[in-house]
Structure 1
Amino acid sequence: LLERLDESIDTALIFNSFISDMELLEILIDEFSISTDSQPRTKRLFMDALNRFFLENYSRRRNSVILIDEAQNLSHSVLEQIRMLSNLETDREKLVQIVFFAQREFNDILSSPSLRQLSDRILVRYDLPPLDKRDTKNYIQHRISIAGGNIRFTSSALNLIHKASEGNPRKINAICDRALLVAFASGKETIGKGMVKEAIREIMPQKGVKIRRLRSGPSILFIITVIALAFFSGWALNNNIFFKAQKLFKPKVSINVVHESTAHRVDPFKRVSLTDKKSMELLLSLSYDQFSNSSKDFRVFSHSFDPQYILRIKRPIRVGIRDSDRFMVIKAISKEHILLVDSKGKEFQFNTLSILPKMGSEICWIIPLEDSPFIRRGIRGGIVYEIQKFLKRFGYAVEVSGIYDSLTQKMVMRFQRDMGIEPDGVIGPDTWAIIYLFNGKL
């Protein structure tokens, strides 16, 4: 939506709706890049600064728009502050446009007597109704066409998805995601009614269907259609994300320690030269050992780093062997030693300097699939505090305050540039994945 707006529109996006009225004003000041010098940060100061900004925009024929996501979570005091903002106007028109995105219960909130004045100021309302059967089918096919691949849902499967989801897009996504996972486990590209039933059993036990669990196997199934899996999970479709699977696919590999000096006859490095499939199985096994018990799903990332950062990695990784179609799995790495794993799960310790020249440029690692929020300027709290501590340990000049201010944003952008990803200053999936790779705690 923001990308499609005219260049003459200045926007402030608020996606964290669990904020106070003072935090609302602070976020708006930051989002509109309004300077308040070194004056005490008060409501009066912020309101005056916003009023001046909106008037200046109006005089330059620019529009100011505030977009608020998940508005049903806003407190009454914040909604009252928004009403005060809506009072900023000239003799002829409003200085700022405010757009709410909310669940249906927001209408009930606005109907309360204390918010009547705010409700009266809302001129345009649009309610997105549930999708009908035809729209559900078109919606699913559209998402698959964008993702690519040869995935196909049968007509009976589509009908069942519509019935179970009641036309709710979020439920449609959830059912399709799980159905694709069932197909992924079965090595199928056509999803029928039976697979959809299996998906519904897993995610909607309240429907009264007994939950069945898929049997785990000793290996991972690799199929092209996993791209569609990523799409329905809401993942960014880029080269970093390969596939999603569940813990039920965890390979059963035991890890024993055998040092390089104990290997007889066979060159130790040949032992740790692995096939694509075997190296991924071992990487999964090592990575799962570091996951929390609540983590069932995972993402696989692949990225190329500047060699200077390799020694700072704190997670198991898979790396291609230079001038070869084989791979090595690294369990741990330091300046002196590097710990590699062979096909039987045995560990071999090598001198780091002897292995670095053999490593390809692309690194593959696995992170738990958890609800990591998008962190951007204006957010505050413990998670920002931990991010700032990580950046400081990594060598970036950031103040550990728990507030995602302009300096933190600048350092995040520098970190993103150094890591070779888009320097947008927003901590999203790719940035979280890299932080996870270099940080043993976050």
Structure 2
Amino acid sequence: MYRKYFGLKELPFSISPDPRYLYMSDQHREALAHLVYGINSEGGFVLLTGEVGTGKTTICRCLLDQTPEDTNIAFVLNPRLTVEELLATICNELSIHYPEGNTSIKVFVDHINAYLLDAHARGRKTVLIIEEAQNLNADLLEQVRLLTNLETNKHKLLQIIMLGQPELKNMLSRTELRQLAQRITARYHIGPLSKEEVAAYVNHRLSVAGAWNKLFLDSTYGKLYHLSKGIPRLINLICDRALLGAYVQGKDRVDKSTLVKAAREVFGEPGFRKYRNLFRWVLAGMALIGCAAALTAIYYNYQTQPLAVVTSPPVQQAISTRPVEEGSGLLQWDWPADEPIYRSEGLAYQSLLKQWGVIYKPNNGSACQQAMTQGLSCLGARGSLDSLLHLNSPAVLKMFNDQGRVFYVTLTAIQGQTATFIIGNKTKIADVKDVALRWSGDYTLLWRMPPKYQGSVKRGDQGPVVQWLDRKLALIQGRKAQSGENPLYDDILIKQVKNFQLSEGLVPDGIVGPQTLIRLNSAVGTGDPVLVDRRKGK
């Protein structure tokens, strides 16, 4: 109903698991990496848990886009089954023929085993994905475990991925299920989004749906976080109802009162009060527990040991140290009045090229074309500030002003709680917490290409790019590079790349694309411009 009113191509807050709308927070990126690792590993279990509505199913759908072509996948969507029904479902998913009316567990298992052996002989992997796995009873879990006993002398024939709510973790901690728990090779738990991620999440979904204007006032994001507790599905429900409310009221954007009214309609008036009171009690309980734990820890430390200094990982340090200058927040400034806003994109790319020592010539092709002549390439994507911190490279960001109009800025540095931008021809400093309130999540950055780079490096490739890749990995891993001028991108090198990708929180698929190449450049230190100079802390 409101789609045409706001100029959207489609509804942005549908609760269907569409991979295009997946907002890749650091948690979701790591979760996807664990699933891809599970598919590419040599058998066993992969466990992904999270509260209702945190995005487990959407990540699973996204996984299908990352699945190697030599993989057969069986989905079990409703595991409230008997053992016989579960085995029949697996057979149906994999198109395994079995005698009509069969109820023998042995017959099902024998047919599945024969199928797995044949698939293995043809060089294919088989993966079983079980959703809502917290609904599996003890008998079903034991049968699932027994399926992983199907193996050759060297390889497991079946990889199993289980997705479920937090109680699944509790189930697997039971003594009688310890054999299954010991076979879990990778596990990850998805928590709710942070307050800053909620704003980026909303802007991301609006951008995918074709929004060109800012449809939520900045003041609504904090309230939305508290109402939804950071759960993506609740965010979708509230935002969808809020946009409908804004449409009915003839408003061009959602304000706080419209958002609160939408939440009441989503939760129901009595439920809304119950939810709000429950949330307050939870916070109070957490505060009391926290205080008790803190007092206990202080007393213990005072009695037994000196104070210790705790250091954080580099990325977290980068956004947690220096206080912000008063009045320097992103909300305090806008596109300069003396510059036409349509020039913002050209000026932003001019500033980005300047960071790399390239002079931008307006009538000499696009900025990305000019960068190519200097051995650089553009990478355009959507993400969060954490995504950019991991890539650690200056970038052009697509922003919205108070009127919802689009303009572009260049992010050049992050230090402590502040981010440095070039807006027009002026340098500004902003609080990193405010960035998500004005940023659509779209960014473009530059990265340095390896010699003779023609595209992603894949199994069987040879040439200068593979030689460059081997030398970079050798520096990182402290080993000698391969001899010869024409090394092959073989299984050994692919395994080293996968290990590097996993250590960097990337999908460990062994394909060397822009994201992996950027991380390699950053890891070895090429002297290229960075957002955070982590060498200063060394």
Question: Which category of TM-score, normalised to the shorter sequence, fits these structures?
Answer: 0.3 to 0.5
Higher relative contact order (CA 8 A, sep 6+): 2
Given the two structures, how large is their TM-score scaled by the length of structure 1? 0.45
Given the two structures, how large is their TM-score scaled by the length of structure 2? 0.38
